[in-house]
Structure 1
């Protein structure tokens, strides 16, 4: 107590479940993020670690918990996400002087490397656009050539697209909560609010779509369902899968709508877009996310090797001539 490092042992006897509930409630989180945190804790922590007192949970408990999750077949990305939440909770508990040390000390446990997602060809994108319900044709094209997320697409209004300058402005994103409630809010980050220059080749597609399917008035939604409501992800997925089948997209490709964002960003990178330009276009504030699209795929790697072959041949010709 004289040194000032005494901790009240009674304060740390609060259960992890109780403290985590309070911790989530005190965070300034978007509704979707709050639900995600609560779901991870409910499914993967509550019945295993959750009943333990905060100050009784050791590094060994965390290692055992993680091993059990992975052995049970829980995906590595899910376990990594839950581990990051736990580490953040214990970091706050440390600041609150409820524990002496953060038990989440497994090197690399919070990192997850997503599997490489498929990249559609230009022909495949237009084949899907032709086979999907006409009201969603432009949605497929904008997902690819404007690299928009589903929530950003369904939140678009007429006023967000300027056909004269061929510019689209992302200002809002629609999220869907677990109970089905749909809310329009800000994009994931401040960088998500962004202008996007559109290819002029989409001019007629946009014009026809606005005339046929968009709600009237500048605030009218660009995309609405057959019943006049905001498209829901689950309902759209059924329409999407049907379009994939009719377009002849191989089932083993496992192509998602979000992969078109990845596809368009990869094409942009191949076209010479810098890292900063990619970050601005896709609405990311971190270089880590944008660098995903600057990966070296096999086709591009072979092209680089071909250029090196030419340099080698040229050098040898000079040497032996």
Structure 2
């Protein structure tokens, strides 16, 4: 049977009748395939073997950081005179490219590269050769600008005076990379031989601030000020104290002074300095609102300081922290009478012109020196009455912590260092108590 006859028979057999219903459409069968687990790649146990590592072409005279990118290359070049020189190109830690030229031998370039561009970068002691030529004067200016928001005007003035008077001539144009420990020690030794220990300490603090700024900015690898300390204090300068009767006699002598200098004010100043231990700047900045007559307390919140140009600055007390000072009855009665008709923001001890009161000069003739002469006492600086206040407080039973809070010291150890001689009687008391305990023990045995 031919192919065409079979096809016609198939069509007649499956011919649809006219009245037959439509055939249902057969939907395709949908089968869901199960998700197969991910194929686990078989790891080659020898995949880290050196022979499997990808070989990268390395140019001659180059340095790599492990298997990372090239850090530096050594290149040959000709000078204008036709001489052969070598140049090192390398990347700094901030990924910027730089170069070092002028090596006569390739070996010298390789040694310099190993020291400055590989070891120092890996150890974090890299210094930029270009920036290391920055002068100390430029770094001092940067350091001063950075610290100005944190310093009081008086501190800023002292820092600038230290630099201008003692360090500027020797260090202003010196490159920071040329400042060695030997040079710094010779400079500090010359200053210590001529000036006081406090001046030497101020110079060391300024130099350390400069060198630490240079280390932070990666201008030098090490601090040349390491191991440099101020000379030991060999002078045995003991504080001078006056007794309570002598202090009262001095106050009365000040009240008998020239009426043009306000003798009653002068008496009140001596009582306040001698019994409460205020600094002169704290006394000059004292306001009526700082005196609490109910609690017998003086709240030290202000410190008046006169700048070199004659202007006054009302700042915070030393250390930046306010404190409260107790008042004995004689001081409270004096201040109560003095602030009776004043406004809360008025100064308690203004100058004759209404401004801040300038400190007294014990060497020049004035009401201060005249009061000591009339009282039969040797003149002393106004700050020494602060030592007298500490002595009176200790003999009244104040412990070290109470004395520290009264004087405004940073910590109790500083108070002990300054006024160690006031606590010598405590040692005698310890010895007496031990002897008493031994006596009691021996009497009990017998």
Partner residue of 1:156 out of 281, 286, 289: 286
Structure 1 residues 258, 51: CA separation in 2 closer, same or farther (over 3 Å shift)? same
Question: How much has 1:20 moved relative to structure 2?
Answer: 1.1
Task: Determine if contact 2:275/2:392 at 8 Å carries over to the other structure.
Answer: no
Q: Which has the higher helix share?
A: 1
Q: Separation in 2 of the partners of 1:96 and 1:270? A: 53
Residue in 1 aligned with 2:276?
146
Question: How much has 1:113 moved relative to structure 2?
Answer: 8.1
Please list the CA deviations of residues 141-172 of structure 1 after superposition, one character each: whole Å capped at 9, or x if unmatched.
Answer: 12222221111111111121122322211111
Q: Separation in 2 of the partners of 1:195 and 1:113? A: 35
Question: How much has 1:302 moved relative to structure 2?
Answer: 8.1
Q: Which consecutive segments of 4 or more residues in structure 1 shift more than 4 A?
A: 110-114, 234-238
Work out which structure has the larger RCO, using CA pairs closer than 8 Å and 6 or more positions apart in sequence: 1
Q: Separation in 2 of the partners of 1:15 and 1:173? A: 36
Please list the CA deviations of residues 10-32 of structure 1 after superposition, one character each: whole Å capped at 9, or x if unmatched.
Answer: 21222212211221122021111
* Residue 332 (structure 2) pairs with residue 210 (structure 1): no
* Residue 193 (structure 2) pairs with residue 58 (structure 1): no
Q: Separation in 2 of the partners of 1:60 and 1:299? A: 42
Please list the CA deviations of residues 174-230 of structure 1 after superposition, one character each: whole Å capped at 9, or x if unmatched.
Answer: 111111111112222243x1222211232322223335xxx7311111001233332
Task: Determine if contact 2:350/2:356 at 8 Å carries over to the other structure.
Answer: yes
Partner residue of 1:277 out of 396, 399, 402: 402
What is the aligned length?
313
* Residue 352 (structure 2) pairs with residue 226 (structure 1): yes
- SS of corresponding position for 2:304: strand
What TM-score, normalized by structure 1, do the two folds share?
0.85
Residue in 2 aligned with 1:42?
164
Partner residue of 2:372 out of 244, 250, 264: 244
- SS of corresponding position for 1:46: helix
Task: Determine if contact 2:136/2:172 at 8 Å carries over to the other structure.
Answer: yes
Pairwise mapping of residues 1-321 of structure 1 onto structure 2 (< 5 A)? 1-2=117-118, 3=122, 4-27=124-147, 28-71=150-193, 73-109=194-230, 115-132=237-254, 133-191=263-321, 193-211=322-340, 216-233=342-359, 238-251=366-379, 255-292=380-417, 294-297=419-422, 300=425, 303-304=428-429, 307=432, 311=436, 314=439, 318=443
What TM-score, normalized by structure 2, do the two folds share?
0.63
Structure 1 residues 75, 190: CA separation in 2 closer, same or farther (over 3 Å shift)? closer
Q: Which runs of 5+ in 1 are unaligned?
A: none
Q: Which of the pair has more CA radius of gyration?
A: 2
Structure 1 residues 125, 21: CA separation in 2 closer, same or farther (over 3 Å shift)? farther
